[in-house]
Chains A and B, each alone.
Chain A
Amino acid sequence: MRNILLVAGALTLGGTALNAAPTQITWWHGMGGANEQVINQVAQKFNESQSACAITPVSKGTYEEALASGIAAFRSKEQPNILQVFDAGAATIINAKGATIPAEDILSQNGHKLDRDAFINGVRYFYADADGKFIGMPFNSSAPIMYVNEEAMQKAGVEPPKTWQDFEKIAPKLKEAGYIGMTASQLTWMFFENFFSRNNIQMASNNNGYDSFQGTTLNATNPELVAFFQKLKDWHDKGYFGYYGAGWNDNQKPFEEGKVALWIGSSGSFGGLSQTATMPFSADFLPYDADAKDGNKSSFIGGASLFAMSGHPAEQNKCTADFFNFLTSTDIQKFYHEQTGYVAITTAAYEAAKADGWYEKHPQAEVGIKQLMLPQGEWSKGYRLGFYPQIRVVEEREFNKIFSGETTVEDAFKAIETEGNDLLARFAKTSG
């Protein structure tokens, strides 16, 4: 009996000793440079806040590389606990049921509560399923916004446009004052996806793809969208709109150099732009189409969210849940928002940053959140389309052809719709 007690005692002691070493979890992401530093700081803050878990962030390169690494790792059963997946890749991972544990489930299984209403509008549905359950944990989110060259506005004596119709009116004056009216980076996100969200137009059948992957078709030949690109092409020919290819920086650079009056970029571009812009600039909402029946709605978010990968022991899943819970805390959200320029994803963090006077010093940092908090239309919640990264490649190709004069706007959008639908049909077969 005494021996048994001793053994039991030793076991208990051993158990405590094991518990003292924190459970290790890994987090693969696709951020580099300054943003990677901030991720490391967030991880460090989590590790210092408690002793049961230790998280290690690993940069896998770009968003695409992070997703590809995560997939390869999952297939060889070496997956990380947490994988960051970008907006366009969301359907790929959400479709693979069994690869992930829905964020809401892992939180509730481990004694945390996720309050959907704490998140701002634009963020709430994008990584959720059709019933609104969070599959991915929203993390770094951004909005496409318009940056304004203040000098150009003064010289031309005009106000920043609210709608595309406004832009058409001021563009000749900007040109007279010696400026290219507008450039835009990543037209796929700015002018394709977000044309649907800002103007509340359906992007794809099956409830923008949320209801099912089977038989989903793209709505690329929508007349309003085609008309808008016809305007863009017309503005390009008249010298109101500059287009320098699909590369992000090629379109940002002329704005930094003060040659362009307006640039459509990401709310996350603000930090970099403050250092590189050669003139004072402000920011405003992405313009919408005044002719749309129900326009000026919130935009789709860009950026990425975090997914809890399945196939890990319960104590590691607990740590993942603890970390997700930690991420939504107001302090961390406010810290991340202020350090990176990504929007605050909870209302509380937004209010805290506001109370702090952050937006008085950096009014541009508020534009993205305000745009995401605009009333949400039926079609501005998000989209769930398979092989969407490849559909974006088709869009990019056709947009280049439009502005180099190799194709007409109608033909370009017909090609996007046809090839896009082929890709969607292929994707539907993957889950077969």
Chain B
Amino acid sequence: MSVPSTSLQTSPSGIARLRARLAAPPEAAKRVQFRRPLLPWLLLAPQLAVVATFFYWPSAQAVISSFYIEDPFGFGATFVGLDNYADAVGSSEYIRIAGFTVMFTVIVTVLSLAIGMLLAVKADKVIRGRPAYRTALIAVYAIAPPVAGLIGMMLFDQHIGSIVRFAALFGWNMQVGLSYWDTAFAMIVVAVWLQIPYNFIFVLSGLQAIPSAVREAALIDCRNGLRRFRTVILPLLAPTAFFLMIINITYALFDTFALIDVMVKDKPANNPITLVYKVYLDGFRGNDIGGSSAQSVILMAVVLVLTLFQFRYIERRVHYG
């Protein structure tokens, strides 16, 4: 592990000591050669079979279905070219859902990552009763999304919800299930709450992986805790944070499905939903296989582009050490 040199430039002696210890040349990787060319393929086969069966084959099916309007039972199919795509992208409802999905993903990712990180940094400093704090913070992660949705629904229930009663004290007539933005608020709160512990665990272990020598050296160089965090700890956490960002985006885009399903009670009406929920709604409730396939292909393309972008432009700035 090496340390970004910029962060420690204030102390030449510290940097010299660290360089000596950490910058030992890495061992050259051994080149392993298989004698028979078939063997590696054989070893890879189980994994490749799984990926092909559960990803490539269904994806190809989805792409094919997206060009047809099909009878759900599979009797008739009309080739419609790109109509399914045009219908999806041309619908104002679809655009509205896409807009909400982007907003929801950004807010949930930023909030759950920021709060999780804050809690981890603070919990890292606690000395007395450390396990108790950690367990309390991590425990939420054991709650399954549908259960979290149920708990959220109880807290936000129009008739008995305690959060609704609390909001009423401030004159906010919260109507989750009827008002678009009230439901959006409730969904974001529950989604963030559920994801904080995950970020907490990873950031905490990331913090513990930072050598104490680095921290101590930084402590000698700079007394300002916030500045130390920004210039030393955060760059060292970057690989963890980058990983968490991807995981959180995936979470907000896909894993919140069960939570949304519980919170809109299977009847979204005018409540906000994400694109994945729309795919489910049209495909499984509406039995519109072609339209639903086109939407899932669009979603697949968006995620592909997003992931490429992340690795191309954001990961460049991450230092793995």
Binding site for B on A (CB under 8 A): 62, 64-65, 67-68, 71, 74-75, 89, 92-93, 95-99, 243-248, 250, 253-254, 257, 387, 389-390, 393, 396-401, 403-404, 406, 419, 422, 426, 429-432
Contact residue among A74, A245, A253, A399 (Cβ-Cβ distance under 8 Å from B73): A74
CB-based contact B78/A390 at 8 Å: no
CB-based contact B177/A387 at 8 Å: no
User: Is residue B75 contacting chain A, with contact meaning CB distance below 8 A?
Assistant: yes
In the assembled complex, the Cα of A399 lies from the Cα of B266 at a distance in Å of: 16
The 3 closest A-B pairs by CB, nearest first: A245-B177, A400-B270, A246-B269
Listed by A's residue number, 28 A-B pairs whose Cβ atoms lie within 8 Å are A65-B284, A67-B287, A74-B73, A93-B73, A96-B72, A99-B75, A244-B175, A245-B175, A245-B178, A245-B269, A246-B267, A250-B157, A250-B158, A387-B286, A393-B267, A393-B281, A396-B267, A397-B268, A397-B270, A400-B271, A404-B178, A406-B180, A422-B87, A426-B87, A430-B69, A430-B70, A430-B77, A432-B76
User: Is residue B31 contacting chain A, with contact meaning CB distance below 8 A?
Assistant: no
Contacts of B282 in A (CB 8 A): 390
Contact residue among A93, A254, A393 (Cβ-Cβ distance under 8 Å from B285): A393
CB-based contact A426/B291 at 8 Å: yes
In the assembled complex, the Cα of A399 lies from the Cα of B267 at a distance in Å of: 12
User: Is residue B265 contacting chain A, with contact meaning CB distance below 8 A?
Assistant: yes
CB-based contact B71/A64 at 8 Å: no
Q: Known interface pairs A246-B177, A390-B285, A404-B179. Does A396 touch B268 (Cβ–Cβ under 8 Å)?
A: yes
Contacts of B285 in A (CB 8 A): 64, 68, 389-390, 393
A-B contacts at CB below 8 angstroms, number: 124
Contacts of A397 in B (CB 8 A): 93, 268-270
Contacts of B71 in A (CB 8 A): 95-96, 430-431
In the assembled complex, the Cα of A257 lies from the Cα of B158 at a distance in Å of: 13
CB-based contact B266/A62 at 8 Å: yes
In the assembled complex, the Cα of A389 lies from the Cα of B286 at a distance in Å of: 6
User: Is residue B312 contacting chain A, with contact meaning CB distance below 8 A?
Assistant: no
Contacts of A65 in B (CB 8 A): 284
Chain A residues touching B, majority SS = helix
Contact residue among B159, B177, B267 (Cβ-Cβ distance under 8 Å from A254): B159
Interface-central residue, B80, B159, B176, by most chain A CB under 10 Å: B159
In the assembled complex, the Cα of A139 lies from the Cα of B72 at a distance in Å of: 23
Chain B residues touching A, majority SS = loop
CB-based contact A247/B75 at 8 Å: no
In the assembled complex, the Cα of A257 lies from the Cα of B70 at a distance in Å of: 47
Contact residue among A248, A253, A430 (Cβ-Cβ distance under 8 Å from B159): A253
User: Is residue B124 contacting chain A, with contact meaning CB distance below 8 A?
Assistant: no
B290-308 Cβ-contact flags toward A at 8 Å (1 or 0): 0100000000000000000
Binding site for A on B (CB under 8 A): 69-78, 80, 87, 93, 157-159, 175-180, 265-271, 281-282, 284-288, 291
CB-based contact B75/A431 at 8 Å: yes
Q: Known interface pairs A246-B269, A247-B267, A400-B178. Does A426 touch B69 (Cβ–Cβ under 8 Å)?
A: yes
CB-based contact B269/A75 at 8 Å: no
Closest beta carbon of chain B to A419's beta carbon, Å = 8
In the assembled complex, the Cα of A93 lies from the Cα of B72 at a distance in Å of: 9
Interface-central residue, A74, A387, A393, by most chain B CB under 10 Å: A393
In the assembled complex, the Cα of A375 lies from the Cα of B236 at a distance in Å of: 78
Chain B: which residue is nearest A426 at the CB level?
Answer: B69
In the assembled complex, the Cα of A389 lies from the Cα of B282 at a distance in Å of: 9
CB-based contact B287/A97 at 8 Å: no
CB-based contact A246/B72 at 8 Å: no
Contacts of B158 in A (CB 8 A): 244-245, 250
In the assembled complex, the Cα of A250 lies from the Cα of B161 at a distance in Å of: 12
Q: Known interface pairs A426-B69, A430-B70. Does A247 touch B265 (Cβ–Cβ under 8 Å)?
A: yes
Contacts of A403 in B (CB 8 A): 178
Contacts of A244 in B (CB 8 A): 158-159, 175, 177-178
